[in-house]
């Protein structure tokens, strides 16, 4: 295996000069630098990136731990983080916890062992104990999560406001009997979306009885089953707010199998604005999360933290917006 010493001998220079040419750490005369580059090419020298990283105290890698990268929303966020990291010279290692706390903790241990420079974490639950042990060794950014007991940067979405937008929209269309397909109650996002939605209905003097709420799991099949249960419990509803787009799409499938038409017989609002929202039929009205900004801001905060480890933690809250398509209609 060719070494940096071989390159130095071939070019007739010192090992230090070869290092300066490769790392751009000091001015080297153009003619000398060209000899070094020619030697590197002739000998097909490839530096040992692991050894270099250990010497520098960095690996140029970011760990990304998500609860479910099969969910198109998280897949889109992961892509934005990967792109933003790549532009800044970082490789992203993606781990999927499947919402399993044990798997989540094991992946955190694996990422620490790989000496990642930083971590972007969207865990399935608030793991204060894990974070308390991990944070002294690696900078981290929480994605759409908050842990009160640790001082860490976070990128959040105002889910309460998103739910409020969905409620105001359906109320504005004249709907008074409305159902909700919620996500897991132990998540941070679904209860917040429900709170905002209930607040919008309350402002219009509309009650949301427990029979009009069915919790599910943020998956397509779960949305379909929840819609069937909702129709059995609250058959007179005219509109549904599903707490994510996948469940909204599953609910539309359940309605179609019953012969009900969206939006003629039932209006439907989702949450996330995943890529499939515009291709499903009818195109889904939804509350859009700013996916691109979530990903780029998470990477930006992490890189700033790497540069200034002692700076005060930052809490960035992003606003969702209503995207009106064709899955809702005014009550007739």
Phi, psi of 77 (to 5 degrees): -60, -45
* Domain-embedded: residue 329: no
- Which domain CATH number covers 284? 3.40.50.2300
Q: Is residue 332 part of a domain?
A: no
Examine residue 34 and state whether it is found in any structural domain, yes or no: yes
Q: Is 182 within a domain? A: yes
Distance CA(265)–CA(44), nearest Å, equals 68
Q: Which of 216, 213, 278, 285 is nearest to 250 (CA)?
A: 216
Regarding whether 270 and 164 lie in a shared domain, the answer is yes
Question: Is the torsion defined by CA of 7, 9, 12, 14 positive or negative?
Answer: positive
Residue 78: give the domain boundaries. 59-157+291-318
Q: Is the domain of 178 the same as that of 274?
A: yes
Pair (218, 125) in one structural domain: no
Q: From the CB of residue 258, how many other CB atoms can be counted at a distance below 10 Å?
A: 12
- pTM of structure: 0.81
Query: Average pLDDT for residues 93-97, to the nearest whole number?
Result: 91
CA nearest to 327, candidates 276, 272, 279, 281: 281
Cα-based distances in Å from 231 to 44, 140, 171, 201:
68, 43, 20, 20
Question: Does residue 118 contact residue 63 with C-beta atoms inside 8 Å?
Answer: yes
Instruction: For residues 113 and 176, state if they share a domain.
Output: no
- Read off the pLDDT of residues 44-87 as tens digits, 9 standing for 90 and up: 887 655 555 555 567 899 999 998 888 999 999 999 999 999 99
> What's 27's DSSP letter?
-
Confidence of residue 135 (pLDDT cuts 50, 70, 90): low
Q: Tell me if the bond preceding 286 is cis, omega within 30° of 0.
A: no
Pairing outcome for strands 267-272 and 213-215? unpaired
Domain count, the chain: 3
Q: Dihedral, CA atoms, 244, 249, 253, 258, nearest 10 degrees?
A: 50
pLDDT at 133: 61
Strands 285-288 and 321-323: antiparallel
CATH number, residue 22: 1.10.260.40
32-46, 136-150, 279-293, 295-309: range with lowest mean pLDDT: 136-150
Q: Which of 235, 91, 241 is nearest to 159 (CA)?
A: 241
The rounded mean pLDDT for the chain is 89
Residue 326 lies in a domain: no
- The reply to whether 72 and 105 lie within a common domain is yes
| 297/285 same-domain check | no
Q: What is the pLDDT of residue 282?
A: 97
Residue 4 has pLDDT above 90, yes or no: no
**Which of 115, 120, 123, 114 has its CA nearest to residue 68?**
123
Is the domain of 173 the same as that of 230?
A: yes
Residue 257 shares a structural domain with residue 164:
yes
Contacts of 200 (CB under 8 A, 6+ apart): 163, 164, 165, 166, 167, 168, 171
Same domain, 272 and 298: no
Q: Is residue 219 part of a domain?
A: yes
Residue 221 within any structural domain of the chain: yes
Helix (H, G, I), strand (E, B) or coil at 111: helix
Contact by Cβ (8 Å): 1, 48: no
16-20, 99-103, 135-139, 255-259 — most confident range: 255-259
On whether the CB atoms of residues 64 and 78 are closer than 8 A, the answer is yes
Question: Both 37 and 149 in a single domain?
Answer: no
Please check whether residue 328 lies inside any domain of the structure: no
Q: Are residues 43 and 69 in the same domain?
A: no
Do 172 and 262 share a domain, yes or no? Answer: yes
Question: Residue 197 and residue 201: Cα distance in Å, rounded?
Answer: 6
């Amino acid at each position: 295996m060719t070494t940096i010493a071989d390159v130095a001998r071939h070019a007739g220079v010192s090992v230090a000069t070869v290092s300066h040419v490769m790392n751009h750490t000091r001015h080297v005369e153009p003619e000398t630098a060209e000899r070094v580059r020619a030697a590197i090419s002739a000998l097909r020298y490839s530096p040992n990136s692991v050894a270099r990283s250990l010497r520098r105290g960095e690996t140029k890698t970011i760990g990304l731990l998500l609860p479910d990268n099969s969910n198109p929303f998280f897949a889109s966020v992961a892509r934005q983080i990967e792109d933003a990291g790549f532009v800044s010279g970082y490789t992203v290692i993606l781990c999927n916890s499947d919402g399993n706390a044990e798997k989540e903790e094991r992946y955190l241990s694996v990422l620490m062992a790989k000496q990642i420079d930083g971590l972007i974490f969207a865990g399935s639950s608030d793991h204060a104990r894990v974070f308390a042990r991990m944070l002294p060794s690696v900078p981290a950014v929480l994605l759409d999560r908050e842990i009160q007991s640790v001082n860490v940067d976070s990128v959040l979405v105002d889910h309460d406001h998103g739910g409020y937008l969905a409620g105001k929209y359906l109320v504005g269309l004249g709907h008074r009997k409305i159902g909700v397909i919620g996500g897991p109650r132990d998540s941070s996002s679904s209860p917040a979306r429900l709170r905002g939605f209930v607040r919008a209905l309350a402002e219009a003097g509309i009650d949301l009885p427990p029979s009009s709420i069915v919790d599910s799991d943020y998956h397509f099949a779960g949305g379909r089953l929840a819609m069937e249960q909702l129709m059995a419990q609250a058959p007179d509803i005219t509109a549904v707010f599903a707490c994510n787009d996948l469940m909204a799409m599953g609910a539309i499938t359940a309605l179609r199998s019953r012969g009900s038409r969206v939006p003629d017989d039932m209006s439907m609002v989702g949450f996330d604005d995943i890529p499939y929202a515009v291709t499903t039929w009818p195109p889904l009205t939804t509350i859009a999360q700013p996916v691109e900004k979530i990903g780029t801001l998470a990477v930006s905060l992490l890189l700033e933290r790497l540069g200034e480890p002692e700076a005060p933690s930052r809490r960035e809250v992003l606003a969702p917006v209503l995207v009106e398509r064709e899955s809702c209609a005014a009550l007739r």
